């Protein structure tokens, strides 16, 4: 569903993107931010209790929500909307709940349909004991996510998916070797505690900037990788295509020679956004 807000901003619930109509600028929201915004947009101006929002945005998906989380995401939504010239859309009613400003016009359009063709096989794929969409434990959240390790046999579809992931990793490796961060305007470089530098492939998101250092350092620690001078970390957290696709996290920890050129890398891939 596409929501047109005050003829200034559009929100696409299929990929959690917020767009500014006059400038065509686009911002990708996190999955929980998108769920929260969609709940408000569908409320028709009705006051939604905090408990209702916590249930619909977090509890129903096996996540641990809190008033602190809710306040944080409301603040993110307000700042994003204000940056696009849409202020006072979300109103807090003290001790009662949250509602939308009914004086601001909101229109709805259906999202363009698209067809996904599946690869057919003569062999029935083995059923996994836990579906990736049905299992709440593997749903990531930008504030808090549980670590889950799931072991199962690979079906035909899963094998194709793993192959695609390997191709994605190879493309990512070629990209960081052949296109140095200094030559790619979409990249951002930050210094991490310990002395290593981190290259953010998709650039810095103003709303994630504070937590990005911790996120990368935790992934390095989890994989016994050091952050010292002479190392460069490449990090990419891919945007999801739908609210049921949780993206991919890719990190490469590379060693540099005395000239600052890459000599070797250890790469790590996660089948969801890796958040801490």
The count of structural domains within the chain is 2
Tell me the pTM: 0.44
In a domain, residue 64? The reply is: yes
Please provide the average confidence, as pLDDT, over all residues in the chain.
75
Domain, as residue range, for 50: 2-109
Residues 257 and 152 occupy one common structural domain? yes
pLDDT tens digits along 176-200? 555 444 444 457 788 888 889 888 8
Residue 130, domain member (yes or no): no
Collect contacts of 76-83 with beta carbons under 8 A, ≥24 apart: 76/29, 76/33, 76/207, 77/29, 77/33, 77/36, 77/37, 79/207, 80/18, 80/27, 80/29, 80/207, 81/5, 81/9, 81/18, 83/27
Residue 78 — very low, low, confident or very high, per pLDDT cuts 50/70/90?
very high
Residues 162, 97, single domain; the answer is no
User: Does residue 104 lie in a domain region?
Assistant: yes
- Residue 124: inside a domain: no
Percent with pLDDT over 70 in the chain: 65
pLDDT digits (tens, 9 = 90+) for 211-259: 778 888 888 888 889 999 999 998 887 655 444 545 677 888 999 998 8
- The domain boundary, picked from 109, 135, 155, lies at 109
Residue 178 lies in a domain: yes
96 and 161 both lie in a single domain: no
Whether 38 is covered by a domain: the verdict is yes
């Amino acid at each position: 569903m596409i929501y047109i807000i005050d003829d200034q901003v559009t929100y696409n619930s299929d990929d959690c993107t917020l767009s500014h109509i006059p400038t065509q600028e686009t911002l990708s929201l996190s999955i929980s931010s998108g769920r929260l915004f969609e709940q408000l947009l569908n409320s028709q101006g009705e006051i939604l209790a905090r408990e209702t929002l916590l249930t619909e945005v977090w509890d129903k998906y096996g996540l641990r929500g809190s008033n602190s989380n809710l306040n944080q995401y409301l603040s993110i939504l307000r700042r994003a909307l204000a940056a696009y010239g849409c202020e006072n859309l979300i109103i807090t009613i003290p001790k009662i709940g949250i509602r939308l400003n009914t004086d601001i016009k909101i229109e709805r359009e259906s999202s363009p349909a698209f067809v996904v063709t599946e690869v057919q096989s003569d062999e029935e794929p083995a059923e996994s004991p836990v579906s990736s969409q049905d299992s709440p434990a593997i749903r990531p959240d930008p504030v808090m996510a549980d670590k889950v390790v799931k072991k199962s046999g690979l079906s035909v579809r899963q094998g194709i998916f793993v192959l695609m992931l390997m191709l994605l990793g190879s493309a990512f490796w070629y990209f960081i070797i052949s296109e140095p961060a200094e030559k790619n305007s979409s990249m951002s470089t930050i210094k991490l505690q310990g002395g290593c530098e981190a290259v953010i492939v998709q650039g810095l998101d103003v709303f994630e900037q504070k937590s990005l250092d911790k996120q990368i350092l935790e992934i390095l620690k989890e994989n016994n990788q050091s952050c010292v001078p002479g190392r460069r970390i490449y990090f990419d957290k891919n945007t999801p295509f739908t609210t049921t696709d949780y993206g991919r996290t890719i990190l490469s920890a590379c060693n540099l020679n005395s000239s600052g050129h890459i000599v070797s890398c250890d790469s790590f891939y996660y089948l969801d956004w890796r958040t801490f």
